[in-house]
């Protein structure tokens, strides 16, 4: 839902999750040096952060009764894989629609009009080798 996406976007922009490897990763969108590492929909990009969330069922009577963590709870990558892989265990019910991965992505250097730092949900990113990145840049320059 839109509310869940807003809660995830807020968590990614304003708080470091409990499973983050780097401190201050939620503030990378403010200060980064662009070095493309992936491709997303055939565009070179840099993944600033990946985070995993459990989408919770919420029944509340007023906004004062609930916090963003009650709507979308951050989980570890291991938990995400465990709950989205049907053969990992028979102890849990397999429902991948309750889990989402969120990627914060930059498409150009900070300050560039095409930087478009954005959050993508369940996006299929492709990790690129250095030679693929160079080839992609050369082809883009020829256009």
Structure confidence at residue 28 (pLDDT):
56
* Spatial distance between the Cα atoms of 14 and 99, rounded to a whole number of angstroms: 21
Average pLDDT rounded to a whole number, residues 27-56: 85
- Percent of the chain residues topping a pLDDT of 70: 74
Residue-level pLDDT at 119:
92
Written as one string, the DSSP assignment of 80-112 is HHHHH-TTS-SSS---GGGEEEEEEEESS-TT-
- Asked if residue 50 has pLDDT above 70, the reply is yes
- HEC string for 27-75: HHHHCCCCCCCEEECCEEEEEEEEEEEEECCCCCCCHHHCCHHHCEEEE
pLDDT at 90: 58
Using a cut of 0.85, tell me whether the model's pTM lies above it.
no
**Separation CA 33–CA 108 (nearest Å):** 9
């Amino acid at each position: 839902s839109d509310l869940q996406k807003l809660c995830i976007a807020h968590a990614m922009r304003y708080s470091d999750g409990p499973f983050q490897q780097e401190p201050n990763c939620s503030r990378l969108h403010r200060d980064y040096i662009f070095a493309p590492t992936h491709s997303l929909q055939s565009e070179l990009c840099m993944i600033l952060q990946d985070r995993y969330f459990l989408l919770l069922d919420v029944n509340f009577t007023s906004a004062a009764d609930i916090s963003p963590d009650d709507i979308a709870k951050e989980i570890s990558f291991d938990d995400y894989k465990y709950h989205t892989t049907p053969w990992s265990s028979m102890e849990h019910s397999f429902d991948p629609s309750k889990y989402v991965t969120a990627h914060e992505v930059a498409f150009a250097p900070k300050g560039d009009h095409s930087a478009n730092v954005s959050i993508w949900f369940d996006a299929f990113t492709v990790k690129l080798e250095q030679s693929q990145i160079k080839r992609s840049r050369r082809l883009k320059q020829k256009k």
